[in-house]
Amino acid sequence: MTLSNNERAERPRCAVRGLVSPGAMCGQVMMGGYCGHDGACRHKVLPVRIQTQAEANAYWADKDYKKWVVEFKAGTLRKPKRWQVNVGAANTNGARRAGLAAADLLGHDWCRSAMSTVRLATAQDLGCLATPGKEGGVA
């Protein structure tokens, strides 16, 4: 039986890959770490939905003060230098200035001459994590 990518993505995974305790395996784990147990299991992990950049743009659209990710890139292809920082500002120019100020404070002088990109922060950029719900999945 072959599952499509969508069906495979919707199936929960086992957080401990079937190894409930040392020397004890769960009989419900299927190949690839997917959970086949129908009931509630504390090791069942549902797929986490990741916020897209378009969703982040829509969320921050009506806010006066926004969180931005400023990324600095410099160097050659063989020796690239990258650094990114999360800052709060009202617009992209303010975010770029705040990013340069943070780089100066932390001793990244090379950021002054580096190429910088600014984008609105997603939930993952701000450190949001999925938390387990009542049924053992992601809330």
pLDDT in tens, 4-23: 555 545 666 666 655 655 55
Is the pLDDT at 1 greater than 50? The verdict is no
pLDDT per position as a tens digit, 60-89:
999 999 999 999 999 998 999 999 999 999
Three-class DSSP category at 65: coil
CB 66, CB 56: distance < 8 Å: no
Which one is predicted more confidently, 75 or 2? 75
Domains and CATH numbers, the chain: 5-45 (no CATH), 53-120 (3.10.20)
- Number of Cα atoms under 13 Å in the Cβ half of residue 49: 7
- The residue-averaged pLDDT of 37-41 equals 69
Is the pLDDT at 29 greater than 80? The verdict is no
Residue labelled with tokens 């090791």: 43
pLDDT per position as a tens digit, 105-139:
999 999 999 999 999 999 888 888 766 555 544 44
Q: Taking the model in full, what pTM does it have?
A: 0.63
